[in-house]
């Protein structure tokens, strides 16, 4: 039904573009009050106005997820403003593809901080709130790259394999508290992700790969997340792997 998340509160990181933007709008359309986190405040304000013009409720929480204090404030502000935190979507991510030999190790650090450590820290900060509520749902956006390693993606693979391991261990710890976990593992999605690849050759190859097939859209993944979030409380959809049909 259209109001399946009525009365619930969702927080989406990386809501300023791509998958996160579409997911925030989709969860708002399903009835959730949605907190929008990312660094680009202007993009979040634009999305908040869109959601509100559709009759939804949105809160802009400008956040750099690599800053632990900002991450904790993001959770606190959401709960203070909306009264609960039912669905945390850890989606913010960067894909700075480089071969190991050529890697700028600062790019590795950034990927680990955004893709992995921020997922862990946000989950850690949200857990007391969810335990007190006796319910909650942590949705972590991993990737096909969390299951399949590929040359030139070593650093990115390391973060996404890390997200998968963390999420499964966390699931076992909180299952009896009524807290659900979902790993989302998209194949190629047409977003801004590829634009930030530092190695020009790998960037060209990746963009050509995206153009060679009919890629997923952020909306496709948003609908996948909505599915997981709108199951009844006794159903925990733990893992969803979604590729474009033409992706090998």
CB of 57 within 8 A of CB of 104? no
Helix ranges (H only) for 30-153 are: 41-53, 68-82, 105-111, 118-133
Among 33, 121, 143, 230, binds ligand NDP (CB under 6 A): 143
Judged by CB under 6 A, the residue of 45, 46, 50, 66 near ligand NDP is 66
Helix, coil or strand: residue 46: helix
Secondary structure class of 182 (helix, strand, coil)? strand
Please identify which of the residues 108, 156, 166, 170 carries the catalytic annotation.
156
Return the closest-CA partner of residue 217 out of 27, 21, 2: 21
Q: Does 189 engage in binding with ligand NDP (CB under 6 A)?
A: yes
Q: How far is the CB of 230 from ligand NDP (least distance, A)?
A: 20
Cα–Cα distances in angstroms (integers) from residue 243 to residues 19, 65, 186, 221, in the given order: 14, 27, 6, 10
Smallest separation (angstroms) from ligand NDP to the CB of 72 = 14
- State in angstroms the smallest separation of the CB of 198 from ligand NDP: 14
Tell me which residues in 30-59 interact with ligand NDP (CB under 6 A).
Answer: 38-40, 43
Nearer to ligand NDP, 133 or 154 (CB): 154
- Sites for ligand NDP among residues 202-231 (CB under 6 A): 218
Q: Is 141 in the site for ligand NDP (CB under 6 A)?
A: yes
**Interface with ligand NDP includes 240 (CB under 6 A)?**
no
- Maximum distance among all alpha carbons in the chain? 51
Q: What is the 3-state secondary structure (H, E, C) of 146-172?
A: HCCCCCCCHHHHHHHHHHHHHHHHHHH
Active site residue 156: yes
Here the tokens at position 105 are 């190790």
Which are the catalytic amino acids?
A: 156
Binding site for ligand NDP (CB under 6 A): 13-14, 16-20, 38-40, 43, 63-66, 91-95, 114-115, 141, 143, 186, 188-189, 191-193, 218
């Amino acid at each position: 039904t259209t109001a399946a998340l009525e009365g619930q509160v969702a927080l989406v990181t990386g809501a300023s573009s791509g998958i996160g933007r579409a997911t925030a709008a989709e969860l708002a359309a399903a009835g959730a009050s949605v907190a929008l986190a990312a660094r680009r405040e202007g993009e979040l304000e634009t999305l908040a106005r869109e959601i509100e013009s559709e009759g939804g409720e949105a809160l802009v929480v400008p956040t750099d997820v690599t800053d632990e204090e900002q991450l904790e404030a993001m959770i606190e502000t959401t709960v203070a403003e909306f009264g609960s935190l039912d669905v945390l979507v850890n989606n913010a991510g960067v894909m700075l593809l480089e071969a190991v030999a050529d890697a700028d190790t600062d790019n590795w650090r950034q990927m680990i901080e955004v893709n992995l450590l921020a997922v862990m820290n946000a989950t850690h900060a949200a857990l007391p709130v969810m335990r007190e509520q006796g319910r909650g749902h942590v949705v972590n956006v991993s990737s096909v790259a969390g299951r399949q390693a590929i040359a030139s993606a070593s650093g990115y693979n390391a973060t996404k394999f890390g997200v998968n391991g963390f999420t499964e261990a966390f699931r076992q710890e909180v299952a009896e508290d009524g807290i659900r976990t979902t790993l989302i593992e998209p194949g190629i999605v047409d977003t801004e992700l590829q634009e930030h690849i530092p190695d020009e050759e790998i960037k060209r190859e990746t963009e050509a790969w995206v153009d060679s097939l009919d890629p997923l859209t952020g909306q496709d993944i948003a609908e996948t997340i909505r599915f997981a979030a709108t199951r009844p409380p006794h159903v925990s959809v733990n893992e969803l792997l979604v590729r474009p049909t033409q992706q090998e």
